[in-house]
Structure 1
Amino acid sequence: MHDILLTPIRLSELEMLIQNSVRKVLNEGNYPSLPPSSESNDQPLTVQEAATFTNLAVPTLYSLVSRKEIPFFKRSGSKRLYFLKSELRKWLLEERQKTVSEIMEDAMKSVRTRNNKGR
């Protein structure tokens, strides 16, 4: 029979219990082998697959490649282009547009900095 104890616990205590349990399992080595991370198992994508992943048209991808504005691979002597999903994901997230509140916050920081320098 299993002993079951129900007791209120703080979130911080629960987090600590989980962390300690995970550390214990990892230190003892009693865990199944973990699957490789998706980043290390990053398969090359074709132009069509990259277009689908980025939601861009194939001609747009070729244009970005020709201007070297998107990460890609091309073997010498080959016409084929390849892309890594992890690099495309990073590229898509690089030029995130700031929200109005972020722009206002940056402006206020700039004003405060200028005011502090003048003193």
Structure 2
Amino acid sequence: MENLTEGLTLETLPKAFSQLTNEISEIKRLLLEKSNEQPTETDCWLDLNELCHYHPDKPSKPTVYGWVNAGKIPVHKGGKKLRFLKSEINNFLKQGRKKTSVEIVNEADTSLKKKGGYNG
């Protein structure tokens, strides 16, 4: 795509707008096409047994039932069956990640700067 903002004038504005509209339409089409593709490996469904084997802690079935009952783990119910989407489980597992000392210090600095209490 050529850089249409260089030398943009009232005469070239309609052409730039038209090209931008066409590119946005193409991006929308590509996104829609991608969303209609088959699920990837990370988006496969796990049943209770598969989840117990996949989870790094290898929890027992009663433990997983406890998590489901407490609303701690993402789950989909189909009748009496519990189903887990692998990508949601991966995100759930990542939420337990502890921050490094550097990340904590950076967040504290940012927070203090926003409140005006630190000029470091």
Alignment TM-score, normalising by the size of structure 1 = 0.55
**Unpaired segments of 5 or more residues in structure 2?**
1-36
For residues 45-104 of structure 1, the C-alpha deviation after alignment (integer angstroms, 9 at most, x for no partner) is 11111111112312321111011111112223x2x2111111111111123221111101
Question: What is the one-letter code of the residue matched to 2:82?
Answer: L
Count of aligned pairs? 80
2:102 is equivalent to residue 101 of structure 1: yes
Distance 1:70 1:85 in 2: 12
Q: Which residue of 2 aligns with 1:44?
A: 45
Alignment TM-score, normalising by the size of structure 2 = 0.55
Distance 2:114 2:75 in 1: 41
Distance 2:71 2:39 in 1: 28
Identical-residue share of aligned pairs (%): 31
Aligned CA-pair RMSD: 2.5
Q: Which residue of 1 aligns with 2:65?
A: 62
> SS at 2:82's partner residue?
coil
Question: What is the one-letter code of the residue matched to 2:83?
Answer: Y
For residues 2-54 of structure 1, the C-alpha deviation after alignment (integer angstroms, 9 at most, x for no partner) is xxxxxxxxxxxxxxxxxxxxxxxxxxxxxxxxx84515x83321111111111
| Divergent runs of 4+, >4 A | none
Question: Relative to structure 1, is the Cα distance of residues 75 and 101 closer, same or farther in structure 2, using a 3 angstrom cutoff?
Answer: same
**Unpaired segments of 5 or more residues in structure 1?**
1-34
Question: Relative to structure 1, is the Cα distance of residues 43 and 111 closer, same or farther in structure 2, using a 3 angstrom cutoff?
Answer: closer
